[in-house]
Amino acid sequence: MNYYILLSLLPQDIVYYIVQIINHTNSKNIIYKYYQNTRKKLESINYISHMITLENHSGFLNNDILSKDLTEGLAIIYKSNYNREKYNREFWLCFTDLLSKKLMELTNNIIMNQENQKYNPKYIILNNSINLWFKICVKHNIRLTFIRRTMPYSKVEKRVYFNSKEIREIKNFIKFLCAPRCVDSNNFILNDRDSRIVIRDTINYTSK
CB neighbour class for 170 (10 Å; exposed up to 12, middle 13-18, buried from 19): buried
In this prediction, residue 26 carries a pLDDT of 64
What pLDDT is attached to residue 61?
Answer: 57
Taking phi over 0 as left and psi of -120 to 50 as alpha, with beta for the rest, 187 belongs to left
- Rounded CA-CA distance 186/201 in Å is 24
CA dist list (Å): 68 to 27, 75, 140:
32, 10, 24
Q: Structurally, how many domains does the chain consist of?
A: 1
| Angle separating helix axes 89-112 and 121-139, nearest 10 degrees | 160
Residue 82 lies in domain: 5-207
Amino acid in the structure at residue 14 = I
Q: What is the pLDDT of residue 32?
A: 47
- The pLDDT of residue 125: 94
Within a 10 A sphere around the Cβ of 67, how many other Cβ atoms?
13
- Chain segment 129-148, per-residue pLDDT in tens: 999 999 999 999 999 998 86
Enumerate residue ranges in the chain where pLDDT < 70. 1-36, 55-63, 148-156, 207-208
d(CA 120, CA 117): 5
Instruction: Give me the phi and psi of 59, to 5 degrees please.
Output: -70, -20
pLDDT tens digit sequence for 82-112: 988 899 999 999 999 999 999 999 998 888 8
